Amino acid sequence: MRRKPTLKDLSERLGLARSTVSRALRDDPQIAAATRERVRALAAELGYRPNAAARALTRRRAQVVGLMLPRSSALVFANPYFSELLLGVSSRAEQAGFPLLLSTAPDPDFTGWLREGRVDGLLVLGSSITDADVPGLNRLLEAGYPVVAIHAAPRALQVVSVGSNERAGVWQALAHLQQLGHRRVALLSGPRGSRYAERRIRAFRSGLETYGLEADASLLVPTDDSREGGAAACRRLIERGVPFSALIADNDLVALGALDVLREAGRCVPGEVSVIGFDDTPLAAVASPALTSVRQPTRRLGEIAFDALLALMAGESVASVRLATQLVVRESTGPYVPSGGAP
Amino acid sequence: MRRKPTLKDLSERLGLARSTVSRALRDDPQIAAATRERVRALAAELGYRPNAAARALTRRRAQVVGLMLPRSSALVFANPYFSELLLGVSSRAEQAGFPLLLSTAPDPDFTGWLREGRVDGLLVLGSSITDADVPGLNRLLEAGYPVVAIHAAPRALQVVSVGSNERAGVWQALAHLQQLGHRRVALLSGPRGSRYAERRIRAFRSGLETYGLEADASLLVPTDDSREGGAAACRRLIERGVPFSALIADNDLVALGALDVLREAGRCVPGEVSVIGFDDTPLAAVASPALTSVRQPTRRLGEIAFDALLALMAGESVASVRLATQLVVRESTGPYVPSGGAP
DNA sequence: TTGTAGGCGTTATCAC
DNA sequence: GTGATAACGCCTACAA
């Protein structure tokens, strides 16, 4: 592979100093128009491009931002949710001239890229941060490295985060079901023990109380956030003979799994059971019956997260953001009809 | 932000030469075990990490590979197809220790990253390469830069490509329809003029002949590869009164659009019209009726593309690959039933 | 086994 | 306006 041309090559062929050439290429106002043109012409001819590493070394910034989407967390790309997020982030990053360095490692090294100077700022999925990661990340944050968490991160982490108001989302779902007359609502939650799941479970419990719905521990089933997981959870509910006339799933995939099982079991949706998904991914609209789902403004979230990071990198101070969710009502929810199972 | 520790810092605090420290950290066999431990201990204590830019500068490699998924081409992330691809690529990249630099710019600069030394190799979506890009890319390839195209690239480009056998895919779809007794099959193709679409149109035409199906120019409608585009195309077909009993869509989204319109129009699928999608994305299984679709081994494609790139970077010679497609039969195709429209 | 002395390609700081 | 020169942080001969 032929050597790439460098500033030195240009300067020698032009009989100019390297510094002059460098300035000419970045149109420094103090350079004579004539020489600037000479330099640019040759640069174009040789196909010169400044070396990124050398530039990063002297400027002390890589002009890259990192995005960590650990595969472990919620199947990443298999979940359309992440596509949306990536779309939001990447569109802004592109505009700002910061390519994205992407990691999907199951067990991510949150601090490495930043400390190596590989990236100037970092976007992380808050839900993928474990308690074990907190001390390292906190040290980094205290040292002033720009980091933004997407979705809520552990409380102990002093990080700027950008997310949606999940509590309100859960309540919107419950309010809708209550208005339809439902009283026994199941929750197919996320993996037991994940902060993320716990948060929604808390929201669910308090919502039950607020809306005067029945609280019953057997209505709460954990899943692994996949379609199969949703199916398994729903099956468990049915096999145990737990009466319920509506269910809220942790995401649209889980809801689809539940739909599969309800169909198998001959329970009509929404005739006998109402189903609500979460995230309002493209799958929701395609499903049959089309899913009522709690929309998170995912793409917007990605955009806002990137903008926040950029501001942090510019030394501005930035506050965390919580966007509103919205219940998108489709065909999978309907009025409560007293019948066989539910009392 | 506190200065990051460097080799110099370590060496001074240890009373060693920078080179010794450097070697110790990369466990050079020629370093005394004792000093190695001393060095590592301090490095750990200070949280030392070698600076990526400096390392890239001396080693002449960035340890990064680029992936260009131009937004313009087929809606990128909105299409689950790309999620799969990204999943394949990133899983391999992760293993190999090469973070991915991602570009989604609508008008990508294919050669920039490579010439800046920002990446050591490049994965591009073949379908996004325009004829205008060819000369620049060819120069790069001749200079020995490692590039792999995913899916077929322009003929004129001497690039290694990894794709699936789309021709065979189209033929599989046609064979299936022929066996079911269909004679008039429509094609909702990709954007007029895209190489990609032209390729499939050619495959379609030759397939019609091979399987003895009716060739009729009015059965060929271009779309923009979106759900709305599919709907529009199908609507056009119906409004023009073109008789058809089956259709093949350019991708699953387009097929969904067609499904929407057929339902509106009161044409039963698969009773009156059979529909076949392309790509077998997760949407296909969720649709109702579930879509028969031509599966491309998309994730595998991503893996293979990355592996090929790695081999190229290692100086090995690599051949292009064409993987087999597979027709996944679901509910949207059925036997031809003579009736109203189709002769 | 360790140290010395460049060099990687760019930018920034002085001079001229 | 332009030219030397010294960083930036690491690596690799070559010495010792």
- Over residues B172-210, the pLDDT tens digits come to 999 999 999 999 999 999 988 888 889 999 999 999 999
Describe the strand order of the beta sheet including A321-323 as a list of residue ranges.
A321-323, A160-164, A147-150, A121-125, A65-68, A100-103, B100-103, B65-68, B121-125, B147-150, B160-164, B321-323
* pLDDT tens digit sequence for B28-40: 888 999 999 999 9
Is A77–B64 a contact, with Cβ atoms under 8 angstroms apart? Answer: no
Same domain, B90 and B149: yes
End of a domain among B296, B313, B335? B296
Is B282–A287 a contact, with Cβ atoms under 8 angstroms apart? Answer: no
Domain presence at residue A59: no
Q: Does residue B281 contact residue B85 with C-beta atoms inside 8 Å?
A: no
Q: Does residue A294 contact residue A174 with C-beta atoms inside 8 Å?
A: no
B136 vs B195 pLDDT, higher one: B136
Once rounded to an integer, what is the mean pLDDT over residues B234-257? Answer: 96
Nearest neighbour of B78 by CB, restricted to A83, A100, A287: A83
**CB neighbour list of residue A17: distance below 8 Å, 6 or more residues apart:** A11
How far is Cα A317 from Cα A161, in angstroms, rounded to an integer? 13
Q: Does residue B101 contact residue A101 with C-beta atoms inside 8 Å?
A: yes
Residue B1 has pLDDT above 80, yes or no: no
Same domain, B260 and B112: no
Mutate to test the interface with A, among B118, B251, B291 (most CBs of A within 10 A): B118
Residue A73 has pLDDT above 90, yes or no: no
How far is Cα A72 from Cα A103, in angstroms, rounded to an integer? 12
Give the distance from residue B210's alpha carbon to the nearest chain A alpha carbon, in angstroms.
35
* pLDDT tens digit sequence for A27-40: 888 899 999 999 99
Residue A188 has pLDDT above 90, yes or no: yes
Is B99–A100 a contact, with Cβ atoms under 8 angstroms apart? Answer: no
Residue B220 has pLDDT above 80, yes or no: yes
Is B52–A62 a contact, with Cβ atoms under 8 angstroms apart? Answer: yes
Nearest neighbour of A99 by CB, restricted to B49, B78, B101: B101
Is B77–A87 a contact, with Cβ atoms under 8 angstroms apart? Answer: yes
- Those nucleotides of strand C lying less than 7 Å from any protein Cβ are 1-13
How far is Cα B224 from Cα B166, in angstroms, rounded to an integer? 18
Q: Does residue B69 contact residue B281 with C-beta atoms inside 8 Å?
A: no
The nt closest to A57 (CA vs C1′) is D8
- The secondary structure element, H or E, covering residue B256 is helix B252-264
Cis ω for the linkage preceding A270 (within 30 of 0) = yes
B78 vs A285 pLDDT, higher one: A285
Domain presence at residue A337: no
Mutate to test the interface with A, among B98, B103, B259, B286 (most CBs of A within 10 A): B286
Q: Does residue A211 contact residue A178 with C-beta atoms inside 8 Å?
A: yes
Q: Is A113 on the interface with B (CB under 8 A)?
A: yes
Same domain, B19 and B118: no
Residue of chain A whose Cα is closest to the Cα of B66: A101
Q: Does residue B253 contact residue B225 with C-beta atoms inside 8 Å?
A: yes
Query: Which single residue has its CA nearest the C1' atom of nucleotide C1?
Result: B31
How far is Cα A42 from Cα A26, in angstroms, rounded to an integer? 14
Domain presence at residue B2: no
Same domain, A110 and A253: no
Same domain, B42 and B149: no
Same domain, B187 and B304: no
Q: Does residue B65 contact residue B93 with C-beta atoms inside 8 Å?
A: yes
| Distance between the alpha carbon (CA) of A9 and the C1' atom of C10, Å | 13
Other CB atoms closer than 10 Å to residue B36's CB: what's the count? Answer: 18
B43: CATH: 1.10.260
Between helices A298-313 and A80-96, what is the axis angle to 10°? 40
Residue of chain B whose Cα is closest to the Cα of A47: B115
Q: Is B52 on the interface with A (CB under 8 A)?
A: yes
How far is Cα A333 from Cα A328, in angstroms, rounded to an integer? 11
Same domain, A40 and A73: no
Once rounded to an integer, what is the mean pLDDT over residues A287-308? Answer: 94
**Chain A residues with CB inside 8 Å of B82's CB?**
83
Other CB atoms closer than 10 Å to residue A135's CB: what's the count? Answer: 11
Cis ω for the linkage preceding B289 (within 30 of 0) = yes
pLDDT at residue A341, as a whole number: 44
Pairing between β-strand B160-164 and β-strand A220-222 as defined by DSSP bridges: unpaired
Cis ω for the linkage preceding B50 (within 30 of 0) = no
Query: What are the helix and strand counts (H, E) for chain A?
Result: 13, 12
B53 touches strand C (CB under 7 A): no
Domain presence at residue B170: yes
Report helix, strand and coil shares of chain B as percent, to nearest 5: 45, 15, 40
Describe the strand order of the beta sheet including B292-295 as a list of residue ranges.
B220-222, B185-189, B246-249, B274-279, B292-295, B326-328
B192 vs A21 pLDDT, higher one: A21
pLDDT at residue A75, as a whole number: 52
A8 touches strand C (CB under 7 A): yes
Is A83–B87 a contact, with Cβ atoms under 8 angstroms apart? Answer: no
Percent of chain A scoring above 70 in pLDDT: 96
Same domain, A155 and A210: no
Once rounded to an integer, what is the mean pLDDT over residues A118-124? Answer: 98
DSSP B78-128: GSHHHHHHHHHHHHHHHHHT-PEEEE--SS--TTHHHHTTS-SEEEEEGGG
Domain presence at residue B332: no
Other CB atoms closer than 10 Å to residue B132's CB: what's the count? Answer: 7
Is B118–A99 a contact, with Cβ atoms under 8 angstroms apart? Answer: yes
* pLDDT tens digit sequence for A80-96: 678 788 889 999 999 99
Same domain, B171 and B252: yes
How far is Cα B226 from Cα B232, in angstroms, rounded to an integer? 10
pLDDT at residue B192, as a whole number: 87
Domain presence at residue A203: yes
Domain presence at residue A1: no
A51 touches strand C (CB under 7 A): yes
Same domain, B237 and B174: yes
How far is Cα A158 from Cα B104, in angstroms, rounded to an integer? 31
**CB neighbour list of residue B205: distance below 8 Å, 6 or more residues apart:** B215
pLDDT at residue B233, as a whole number: 97
Is A64–B4 a contact, with Cβ atoms under 8 angstroms apart? Answer: no
**CB neighbour list of residue A104: distance below 8 Å, 6 or more residues apart:** A69, A70, A71, A76, A77, B87, B90, B91, B94
Mean pLDDT of chain B: 92
* pLDDT tens digit sequence for B266-312: 999 999 999 999 988 888 988 989 999 999 998 999 999 999 999 99
What tokens were used for A313? 């990198």
The structural domain count of chain B equals: 3
Mutate to test the interface with A, among B58, B89, B102, B283 (most CBs of A within 10 A): B102
Q: Exposure of A206 by Cβ count < 10 A (0-12 exposed, 13-18 middle, 19+ buried)?
A: middle
Radius of gyration of chain B (CA): 26
Nearest neighbour of A94 by CB, restricted to B1, B54, B105: B105
Residue of chain B whose Cα is closest to the Cα of A85: B77
How far is Cα A26 from Cα A204, in angstroms, rounded to an integer? 57
Same domain, A111 and A212: no
Q: Exposure of A38 by Cβ count < 10 A (0-12 exposed, 13-18 middle, 19+ buried)?
A: middle
The nt closest to A58 (CA vs C1′) is D8
Least confident of A333-337, B327-331, B336-340: B336-340
Q: Is B5 on the interface with A (CB under 8 A)?
A: no
**CB neighbour list of residue A323: distance below 8 Å, 6 or more residues apart:** A162, A163, A164, A165, A296, A297, A300, A301, A304
Give the distance from residue B49's alpha carbon to the nearest chain A alpha carbon, in angstroms.
6
Q: How far is CA B316 from CA A310, B93, B182, in A?
A: 41, 18, 48
Pairing between β-strand A100-103 and β-strand B100-103 as defined by DSSP bridges: antiparallel
- Those nucleotides of strand D lying less than 7 Å from any protein Cβ are 1-13
Mean pLDDT of chain A: 92
Same domain, B185 and B217: yes
A114: CATH: 3.40.50.2300
Domain, as residue range, for A127: 65-164+298-324
Token pair 């010794």: residue: B20
Report helix, strand and coil shares of chain A as percent, to nearest 5: 45, 15, 40
- The secondary structure element, H or E, covering residue A279 is strand A274-279
Once rounded to an integer, what is the mean pLDDT over residues B255-260? Answer: 96
Q: Is the four-CA dihedral B288, B292, B296, B297 of positive or negative sign?
A: positive
Q: Is B82 on the interface with A (CB under 8 A)?
A: yes
Q: Which of A31-35, A169-173, A221-225 has the highest mean pLDDT?
A: A169-173
Other CB atoms closer than 10 Å to residue B199's CB: what's the count? Answer: 18
* pLDDT tens digit sequence for A254-268: 999 999 999 999 999
**Chain A residues with CB inside 8 Å of B77's CB?**
83-84, 86-87, 90
Quickly state the pLDDT bin for A244 (edges 50, 70, 90). very high
Domain presence at residue A34: yes
Once rounded to an integer, what is the mean pLDDT over residues B219-232? Answer: 93
> What are the backbone dihedrals phi and psi of residue B63, each rounded to the nearest 5 degrees, phi first?
60, 45
